[in-house]
Amino acid sequence: MPGVCSMTFQISDLCDLLAEYLDPSQVAEIYRAYLFGAEAHEGQRRRSGEPYIFHPLEVARILAMMRLDHHSIAAALLHDVIEDTGTTKEQLAAEFGQQVSELVDGVSKLTQIRFESRAEAQAENFRKMLMAMIRDIRVILIKLADRLHNMRTLSAMPPEKRRLIAHETLEIFAPIAQRLGINDIRLELEDLGFAALYPLRHRVLADRVRKARRDRSATTEKIETAIHQRLTEEGMAGRVVGREKHLYSIYQKMRSKGFAFANVRDLYAFRVMVDRVDTCYRALGVVHNLYRPVPGRFKDYIAMPKANGYQSLHTTVIGPHGAHLEIQIRTEDMARVADVGIAAHWLYKSGEIAANHAEKKVRAWLRGLLEIQRSAGNPAEFLEHMKIDLFPDEVYVFTPKGRIMELPRGSTPVDFAYAVHTNVGNQCVSAKIDHQFAPLRTPLMSGQQVEIIVSQVAQPNPNWLNFVVTAKARSNICHYLKNLKQDEASTLGRRMLEKAVGDLSLTMSDIPPGGMAAMAKELHLESEDMLLASIGLGKRPSVLVARRLTQGIVRCEVPIVSQEAPFQPLIIRGTEGMVVTYGKCCRPIPGDPIMGFISTGRGIVVHTSTCKTVASYRNHPERWVDVTWEEGIEKLFSVEIKVAVLNRRGVLATIATNIADFESNIENINMEDRDGQSSTLHFTLLVRDRTHLARIMRRVRSFPEVLRISRMRR
């Protein structure tokens, strides 16, 4: 029975490893968990052919190397029993306690629920795991160890499955490991994922690195010796370790910068480990005295740690033969945190600064995750927001009171506002960067001071979604706009239903009490408001809903004589927000004869009656709705005009100034050259109505440089 001997050796080897830092009673409890798991998985084999219990044992070994507590190790040995055997969560709780059962349940997939697609299942399982992680961070540590061993044994899977798992690993699990600061696991996941997803590229790059290693090994030893010797001369004890950058990091650099392998100059990095923080800064001076630093390539992650708690000094210097060398200087404690991240919580005694700092950073990130989850409409949306949040390359900016805020690179003042507080983001109207007003879409740079100007009546702008980069900002904007759209759709739906009922010579008061609630329930909608919103968004024709609600009601045989005659058009007020939009093909403005087209999910799209788009929709008369403008609309509407002008100095400025004099804003200007003598200017203006536009066009036409002016319709 070779399998039994191998298993006995593995569990005894694991127990020896655990005995180095756990009490004998805790090791005994872990051994009991192993026996329970082995019995539960009896007869099951992995695709590679080995007994299934091998996998939980290896997961436990990975966590034992990280020095995790006995509950985590026991949960690792049992992490698949709920998912793959008949064991229940309640049984685990009875045998090993609530902590272990909650950890196992957090790692287990949702196998009892049927999903419509693999993507939906992945999103929901990922959401479940992260919610469990927020309750107990050890859930994700077990899952990362589980994924690491699966990646180590990925060759047993068919090629298509290998690629799917590798893609998921690189897209989700490696970034999570990086976010938690677990560098050892992150590096191995990335290289294993790279090898599985792009085997040829991995093989070619590995060969090139192997050849370069032979050429540079002597140089690497020389640099290590030189730095160590100079530290000793200055009375500083420390270790210097040269390491080769891992393949996936090199590949990413080649891909992002378009480099050939020969142009990648920093294949090696050097770590200098010293005893105290002040020694780190002294060691930096030694390194800069030994090798010339590259300007702009110094980063102080000790004073301003990364989001995952990582601390170190980074500098790039010019070494022998002109090669660029990346040198990282940190304390031994920082080095341990850099390798195992949040798991350092279990390596340090209570109160140790480095571990607590990493844990605080991760806890803050987890609180942000919880807010994103609450704002997300569904698991797939949550997963998309999470993917955005998993790739932070930080910038550090300051609040007016001097507080440091960490944000992903490319963040804007809107991202900053939401990082301060959700309400600050929702009420943001403008921003000052270094005491100067700046557009809200301006990318922030490290060292800037940012001040947000808010207004109690402000609300998020849908255009912000075009430039925000943080998941928190994006999810909160989407959540706010979704609720706003729902309210607007409900209001429009009621107006459309009132019109449809009026066309039947009835009023809303004729609908039987409880009729709308009953219909909403029949259609599996949560409330009357949801029924009205579905009408406003064009998902249910108002005419059909009106007929259903008024079935059996005796209509008045005598025509109703009143101001509210049947078939009265729906009035467009210009304040309907996101549920009434205006066709960009014709850009209707008050005074134009208009038609409305019901678009599923968007509400009503308004076109001019002469728009070419109208003709293409004639085959769908059931989706048209008669609409008309309300009198005295105050809203401004976009319209495009085309102006042919002679090429004269200052003509554009003259036209733009006169347009502004008529209380119109210019949204956009484009220019195209016709010939050397004339040009065509395309203006997008904001006007109140046709009369307002006509006055502007008459004024512009009066200039001698203007050859022609016309309103544009596509």
Q: What is the secondary structure of 183-238 as a DSSP string?
A: HHHHHHHHHHHHHHHSHHHHHHHHHHHHHHHHHHHHHHHHHHHHHHHHHHHTT--E
Cα 678 to Cα 465: distance, rounded to the nearest angstrom: 39
> Cα separation of 137 and 173, whole Å?
14
The answer to whether residues 72 and 64 touch, using CB atoms and an 8 Å cutoff, is no
Instruction: Give the rounded distance of the alpha carbon of 309 from its chain centre.
Output: 21
Q: Output phi, psi for 544, to 5 deg.
A: -65, -40
Asked if residue 367 lies in contact with residue 133, where contact means CB atoms within 8 angstroms, the answer is no
Two structure tokens written together for 409: 């690179």
Structure tokens at 458: 């402000």
Closest to 420 in 3D by CA, of 403, 437, 445: 403
Both tokens of 446, joined, read 């490290």
Residue 392 is classified by DSSP as -
C-alpha span between 647 and 671 (Å, rounded): 11
Contacts of 285 (CB under 8 A, 6+ apart): none
- Burial class of residue 237 (count of CB atoms within 10 Å of its CB; 0-12, 13-18, 19+): exposed
Q: Which residues, listed in sequence order, are joined to residue 710 by a DSSP beta bridge?
A: 642
Q: Distance from first CA to last CA of the chain, Å, rounded?
A: 80
Instruction: Answer yes or no: 224 catalytic.
Output: no
Parallel, antiparallel, or unpaired for β 665-673 and 678-687? Answer: antiparallel
Residue 661 among the catalytic residues: no
* Annotated catalytic residue, options 50, 69, 83, 326: 83
Catalytic residue among 20, 23, 29, 84: 84
Neighbours of 263 (CB within 10 A): 10
Which residues are identified as catalytic? 83-84
